[in-house]
Amino acid sequence: MGIEVGGLLGLIILVLDVYAIVKIIGSGASTAAKVIWILLILFLPVLGFLAWLVAGPSRPATV
């Protein structure tokens, strides 16, 4: 049972990280800020996502 729970938790974290990265790319933040947030999420998936959730760029990009 441990493998199934771990696999499901990993899948949920992956989905949340992909969601965060898509939102970061679509945000109005500078390119440098986007790169830093994406790298943070890639190297620290759980902590990076939580940090982005609390303090990440939330403005939509203006066209």
Which of 3, 57, 60 minimizes the C-alpha distance to 33?
57
**pLDDT value for 7:** 83
The domain limits of the chain are: 2-55
The pLDDT profile of the chain, 63 residues, written as one tens digit per residue, is: 555 767 889 999 999 999 999 999 998 889 999 999 999 999 999 999 999 999 876 666 555
CA separation for the pair 9, 22 (Å, rounded) = 20
As given in the structure block, the two tokens for residue 28 are: 């109005």
Give dist(CA 30, CA 27) in Å, integer.
9
Tell me the C-alpha distance between 42 and 16, whole Å: 12
Cβ atoms 24, 37 nearer than 8 A: yes
pLDDT value of residue 34: 93
